[in-house]
Structure 1
Amino acid sequence: MKTRVALVLALSLAATAHAENAAEVWTAKCKSCHGEDGKAHTTLGKKESIVDMSQPAWQKAETDADIREVIADGSSRNSKMKAYKDKLTPAQIDALVGYIRTFQSK
Protein backbone atom coordinates (compact mmCIF):
# COMPACT_ATOMS: atom_id res chain seq x y z
CA MET A 1 0.00 0.00 0.00
CA LYS A 2 2.84 2.41 0.83
CA THR A 3 4.36 1.72 -2.57
CA ARG A 4 1.12 2.67 -4.33
CA VAL A 5 0.79 5.89 -2.35
CA ALA A 6 4.40 6.78 -3.10
CA LEU A 7 3.87 6.05 -6.80
CA VAL A 8 0.71 8.17 -6.98
CA LEU A 9 2.46 11.01 -5.16
CA ALA A 10 5.47 10.81 -7.48
CA LEU A 11 3.28 10.82 -10.58
CA SER A 12 1.28 13.77 -9.25
CA LEU A 13 4.45 15.75 -8.59
CA ALA A 14 5.79 14.87 -12.03
CA ALA A 15 2.55 16.00 -13.70
CA THR A 16 2.64 19.28 -11.78
CA ALA A 17 6.27 19.87 -12.72
CA HIS A 18 5.45 19.00 -16.34
CA ALA A 19 2.61 21.57 -16.41
CA GLU A 20 4.77 24.23 -14.76
CA ASN A 21 7.53 23.54 -17.28
CA ALA A 22 5.06 23.97 -20.17
CA ALA A 23 3.90 27.30 -18.74
CA GLU A 24 7.51 28.43 -18.37
CA VAL A 25 8.35 27.41 -21.94
CA TRP A 26 5.19 29.15 -23.20
CA THR A 27 6.15 32.34 -21.38
CA ALA A 28 9.72 32.23 -22.67
CA LYS A 29 9.12 31.18 -26.27
CA CYS A 30 5.48 31.74 -27.29
CA LYS A 31 3.76 34.39 -25.20
CA SER A 32 5.22 37.43 -26.98
CA CYS A 33 3.37 36.52 -30.20
CA HIS A 34 0.52 34.26 -29.09
CA GLY A 35 -0.29 36.03 -25.82
CA GLU A 36 -0.68 34.58 -22.37
CA ASP A 37 -4.00 32.95 -23.27
CA GLY A 38 -3.31 31.92 -26.89
CA LYS A 39 -5.64 34.58 -28.29
CA ALA A 40 -2.78 36.44 -30.02
CA HIS A 41 -3.91 39.83 -28.71
CA THR A 42 -0.35 41.09 -28.90
CA THR A 43 1.27 43.66 -31.15
CA LEU A 44 2.92 41.00 -33.29
CA GLY A 45 -0.11 38.73 -33.08
CA LYS A 46 -2.31 41.42 -34.56
CA LYS A 47 0.28 42.49 -37.14
CA GLU A 48 0.78 38.92 -38.35
CA SER A 49 -2.91 37.95 -38.05
CA ILE A 50 -2.01 35.05 -35.78
CA VAL A 51 -4.93 32.74 -35.13
CA ASP A 52 -6.76 32.69 -31.79
CA MET A 53 -5.95 29.23 -30.44
CA SER A 54 -8.72 29.44 -27.85
CA GLN A 55 -11.44 29.20 -30.49
CA PRO A 56 -13.30 25.88 -30.39
CA ALA A 57 -13.23 25.64 -34.20
CA TRP A 58 -9.43 25.95 -34.23
CA GLN A 59 -9.05 23.49 -31.34
CA LYS A 60 -11.24 20.98 -33.20
CA ALA A 61 -9.57 21.45 -36.59
CA GLU A 62 -5.98 21.13 -35.37
CA THR A 63 -4.80 17.72 -34.23
CA ASP A 64 -2.10 17.30 -31.62
CA ALA A 65 0.17 16.10 -34.43
CA ASP A 66 -0.56 19.28 -36.43
CA ILE A 67 0.33 21.48 -33.46
CA ARG A 68 3.43 19.45 -32.68
CA GLU A 69 4.58 19.75 -36.31
CA VAL A 70 4.21 23.55 -36.39
CA ILE A 71 6.11 23.91 -33.11
CA ALA A 72 8.87 21.59 -34.28
CA ASP A 73 9.15 22.61 -37.94
CA GLY A 74 7.68 26.12 -38.10
CA SER A 75 4.67 27.29 -40.05
CA SER A 76 4.30 27.25 -43.81
CA ARG A 77 1.54 29.88 -43.41
CA ASN A 78 3.62 32.35 -41.42
CA SER A 79 7.39 32.59 -41.84
CA LYS A 80 7.69 34.39 -38.48
CA MET A 81 6.83 31.08 -36.76
CA LYS A 82 10.24 29.46 -36.73
CA ALA A 83 11.08 25.83 -36.01
CA TYR A 84 11.78 24.93 -32.39
CA LYS A 85 12.93 21.32 -32.89
CA ASP A 86 16.52 22.37 -32.18
CA LYS A 87 15.59 24.55 -29.20
CA LEU A 88 13.05 22.38 -27.38
CA THR A 89 13.05 18.72 -26.45
CA PRO A 90 10.31 16.42 -27.74
CA ALA A 91 8.95 16.32 -24.18
CA GLN A 92 8.77 20.12 -24.05
CA ILE A 93 6.97 20.20 -27.40
CA ASP A 94 4.48 17.59 -26.19
CA ALA A 95 3.95 19.62 -23.01
CA LEU A 96 3.27 22.73 -25.10
CA VAL A 97 0.65 20.85 -27.12
CA GLY A 98 -1.12 19.94 -23.88
CA TYR A 99 -0.78 23.51 -22.64
CA ILE A 100 -2.28 24.89 -25.86
CA ARG A 101 -5.25 22.56 -25.38
CA THR A 102 -6.01 24.34 -22.08
CA PHE A 103 -6.76 27.56 -24.00
CA GLN A 104 -10.04 26.29 -25.46
CA SER A 105 -12.86 28.71 -24.74
CA LYS A 106 -15.80 27.34 -22.88
Structure 2
Amino acid sequence: MMKRLVVVLSLCLAPNAFAADDVVDVWKAKCKSCHGDDGKAKTKMGQKESLADMSQPAWQAAVTDTDIRQMIADGSPRNTKMKPFKEKLTAAQIDALVGYIRTLKAK
Protein backbone atom coordinates (compact mmCIF):
# COMPACT_ATOMS: atom_id res chain seq x y z
CA MET A 1 0.00 0.00 0.00
CA MET A 2 2.77 2.44 0.93
CA LYS A 3 4.70 1.73 -2.30
CA ARG A 4 1.58 2.40 -4.33
CA LEU A 5 1.03 5.71 -2.52
CA VAL A 6 4.62 6.76 -3.17
CA VAL A 7 4.30 5.89 -6.86
CA VAL A 8 1.02 7.79 -7.19
CA LEU A 9 2.43 10.83 -5.39
CA SER A 10 5.56 10.72 -7.53
CA LEU A 11 3.49 10.68 -10.70
CA CYS A 12 1.36 13.56 -9.46
CA LEU A 13 4.25 15.70 -8.31
CA ALA A 14 6.74 14.98 -11.09
CA PRO A 15 5.01 17.04 -13.80
CA ASN A 16 4.95 20.04 -11.49
CA ALA A 17 8.66 19.70 -10.82
CA PHE A 18 9.38 19.58 -14.54
CA ALA A 19 7.07 22.53 -15.15
CA ALA A 20 8.99 24.57 -12.58
CA ASP A 21 12.26 23.73 -14.30
CA ASP A 22 10.76 24.50 -17.71
CA VAL A 23 9.49 27.94 -16.70
CA VAL A 24 12.90 28.85 -15.28
CA ASP A 25 14.49 27.75 -18.56
CA VAL A 26 11.99 29.84 -20.55
CA TRP A 27 12.61 32.84 -18.26
CA LYS A 28 16.37 32.50 -18.73
CA ALA A 29 16.05 32.11 -22.51
CA LYS A 30 13.43 34.77 -23.24
CA CYS A 31 13.16 37.22 -20.34
CA LYS A 32 16.34 37.37 -18.28
CA SER A 33 18.38 39.49 -20.69
CA CYS A 34 16.04 42.45 -20.11
CA HIS A 35 14.28 41.70 -16.83
CA GLY A 36 17.16 40.01 -15.01
CA ASP A 37 17.08 36.89 -12.85
CA ASP A 38 14.97 38.63 -10.23
CA GLY A 39 12.61 40.75 -12.37
CA LYS A 40 14.19 43.99 -11.15
CA ALA A 41 15.32 44.95 -14.69
CA LYS A 42 18.77 45.96 -13.45
CA THR A 43 20.26 44.80 -16.75
CA LYS A 44 21.81 46.97 -19.43
CA MET A 45 18.71 46.64 -21.62
CA GLY A 46 16.33 46.95 -18.67
CA GLN A 47 17.88 50.21 -17.59
CA LYS A 48 18.16 51.54 -21.15
CA GLU A 49 14.46 50.87 -21.73
CA SER A 50 13.41 52.00 -18.21
CA LEU A 51 11.65 48.70 -17.54
CA ALA A 52 9.58 48.35 -14.41
CA ASP A 53 10.85 46.44 -11.41
CA MET A 54 8.43 43.49 -11.38
CA SER A 55 9.51 42.54 -7.86
CA GLN A 56 7.95 45.66 -6.34
CA PRO A 57 4.70 45.08 -4.45
CA ALA A 58 3.16 48.17 -6.10
CA TRP A 59 3.85 46.76 -9.58
CA GLN A 60 2.59 43.33 -8.56
CA ALA A 61 -0.64 44.89 -7.23
CA ALA A 62 -1.20 47.19 -10.21
CA VAL A 63 -0.65 44.67 -13.00
CA THR A 64 -3.14 41.82 -13.39
CA ASP A 65 -2.39 38.30 -14.55
CA THR A 66 -4.37 39.10 -17.69
CA ASP A 67 -2.18 42.17 -18.31
CA ILE A 68 0.99 40.11 -17.92
CA ARG A 69 -0.33 37.32 -20.13
CA GLN A 70 -1.33 39.80 -22.84
CA MET A 71 2.01 41.60 -22.72
CA ILE A 72 3.90 38.34 -23.10
CA ALA A 73 1.64 37.14 -25.91
CA ASP A 74 1.19 40.40 -27.82
CA GLY A 75 4.21 42.47 -26.83
CA SER A 76 4.23 45.81 -25.08
CA PRO A 77 2.33 48.74 -26.56
CA ARG A 78 4.68 51.09 -24.64
CA ASN A 79 7.97 49.41 -25.53
CA THR A 80 8.53 48.09 -29.04
CA LYS A 81 11.56 46.10 -27.84
CA MET A 82 9.13 43.76 -26.03
CA LYS A 83 8.08 41.61 -28.97
CA PRO A 84 5.10 39.24 -28.99
CA PHE A 85 5.82 35.69 -27.88
CA LYS A 86 2.50 34.09 -28.87
CA GLU A 87 4.15 32.44 -31.87
CA LYS A 88 7.17 31.28 -29.86
CA LEU A 89 5.62 30.11 -26.59
CA THR A 90 2.65 27.88 -25.89
CA ALA A 91 -0.29 29.12 -23.84
CA ALA A 92 0.90 26.83 -21.03
CA GLN A 93 4.38 28.39 -21.11
CA ILE A 94 2.89 31.89 -21.01
CA ASP A 95 0.67 30.92 -18.07
CA ALA A 96 3.71 29.44 -16.30
CA LEU A 97 5.61 32.70 -16.85
CA VAL A 98 2.74 34.66 -15.31
CA GLY A 99 2.97 32.43 -12.24
CA TYR A 100 6.75 32.75 -12.18
CA ILE A 101 6.55 36.54 -12.34
CA ARG A 102 4.27 36.45 -9.32
CA THR A 103 6.98 34.61 -7.37
CA LEU A 104 9.36 37.53 -7.93
CA LYS A 105 7.43 39.79 -5.56
CA ALA A 106 9.74 41.40 -3.01
CA LYS A 107 8.89 40.68 0.58
Map 1:23-102 onto structure 2 (within 5 A).
Answer: 23-102=24-103
Distance 1:11 1:66 in 2: 30
Distance 2:46 2:89 in 1: 22
User: Which structure has the larger Rg over C-alpha atoms?
Assistant: 2
Query: Normalising to structure 1: TM-score of the pair?
Result: 0.94
What whole-Å deviation, never above 9, does each CA across 1:41-70 have from its counterpart, x for those lacking one? Answer: 000000000000000011111111110000
- The runs of at least 4 consecutive aligned structure 1 residues that moved more than 6 Å come to none
Structure 1 residue 6: Cα displacement? 3.2
Count of residues in correspondence between the two structures: 106
Query: Normalising to structure 2: TM-score of the pair?
Result: 0.93
Q: Which amino acid aligns with 1:80?
A: K
Distance 1:82 1:90 in 2: 16
Distance 1:83 1:91 in 2: 15
Distance 2:66 2:8 in 1: 30
- Segments of 5+ residues of structure 1 without an aligned counterpart are none
Q: Which amino acid aligns with 2:23?
A: A
Structure 1 residue 11: Cα displacement? 2.1
SS at match of 1:7: helix
